[in-house]
Amino acid sequence: MTRVAFIGLGNMGSGMAAIQVKAGHTVRAFDLSEAALAKAAAAGCVSAASAVEAVADAEVVFTMLPAGQHVREVYAETVLANAPAGALLIDCSTIDVESARFVALQARSKGFRFADAPVSGGTAAAEAGTLAFMLGCDEADFTAFEAAIAPMSRTTLRAGDHGAGQAAKICNNMVLGISMIGVCEAFALAEKLGLEADRFFEISSKSSGQCWSLTSYCPWPGPVPAAPSNRNYEGGFATSMMLKDLKLAQEAAARAGAAAPLGATAEGLYALFDRLGGGDRDFSAILEMMRGRIDAA
Ligand code: NAD
């Protein structure tokens, strides 16, 4: 049994903390939201009165927060000053590479082992313990991080040194955002050309157009029963989240001097879909905009 601290019990963190409880660990949980804390307590977590209290005797500290500024603040104000020496520090939030490297430096200067460990998979995977983790950490520490993460994970891979986990996450999601738009454009064109969607799916999924966005997450309702397109695009991976990740990719590209024009175009299209009211819908719902079913005026 491990003493775990969990800070950030939102859509993702609540499921992840509950999985740590199911694995037999003592989880001291904290969130600014009373409702989130109550939900964590109902799942068997010990609700802490403050983040300081949550980390005070922790062997492993997880954070699952909205953005880089939250992670910087929670680490500066709480974790680094109050976690016991030797605690493993694991940030699972999706944040900018710079913030991840900054927090890692601060943690290292205080003698902590730190990993940026963003995840792939949504709330269902968080609740089932089947997230994919990509880690930025010292190589020597990977085994310890992997063991701490194991109950929440179907796969845990080390991307490289600090910041590499976040780099892998935003590069992966940039591929996903671009490929989904490509698949949606193709369905919309097929429709205009009088080609039946099911026929197009069958042919492209066996041809060089095959990709995850087409064959595992098809935006056109029907061919892939488990895809959110069959549930009116509810649940899944929200457009607002995809937009956040595409913005992070563009910021990283600008800082690194990399050209990512298709990523920029995808960001623009998702920003438009978000403004048109699609923010809470699964990101594959952008098909409706591509088909001209949503008024872009
Ligand atoms: P969320 O907004 O539901 O949860 C964030 C939680 O952090 C909230 O409950 C909020 O009250 C809490 N919080 C904010 N500041 C805090 C502080 N200073 N101290 C304590 N708690 C604080 O967000 P989410 O959907 O759970 O996402 C969390 C992270 O996971 C984000 O970085 C997101 O990009 C990433 N992510 C989300 C998904 C998804 O499908 N939702 C998938 C993969 C990765």
CA nearest ligand 1 atom 21, residue? 31
Length reported for the chain: 297
Q: Ligand 1: which atom is nearest the Cα of residue 30?
A: 20
CB distance 97 to ligand 1 below 6 Å: no
pLDDT of residue 294: 84
CA nearest ligand 1 atom 29, residue? 93
φ and ψ at 154, to 5 degrees? -100, -25
What is the 3-state composition of the chain as percent helix, strand, coil, each rounded to the nearest 5?
55, 15, 30
Q: In terms of C-beta distances under 8 Å and separation of at least 24 residues, what long-range contacts does 25-34 make, across chains too? A: 25/1, 25/151, 26/1, 26/2, 28/3, 28/4, 28/53, 28/54, 28/55, 28/57, 28/58, 29/5, 29/54, 30/5, 30/6, 30/54, 31/7, 33/9
Q: Token match 């600014």: residue?
A: 32
Helix, coil or strand: residue 10: coil
Let me know if 169 is a catalytic residue.
Answer: yes
Q: Please give the Cα distance from 253 to 43 (Å, whole number).
A: 40
Q: Ligand 1: which atom is nearest the Cα of residue 122?
A: 40
| pLDDT tens by residue, 91-124 | 999 999 999 999 999 999 999 999 999 999 888 8
When pLDDT is averaged across residues 7-22 and rounded to a whole number, the result is 97
Q: What angle do CA 228, 234, 240 make, to 5 degrees?
A: 100
**Ligand 1 binding pocket mutation candidate from 33, 34, 53, 64 (most atoms within 8 A of CB):** 64
| pLDDT tens by residue, 233-277 | 998 899 999 999 999 999 999 999 999 999 999 999 999 999 999
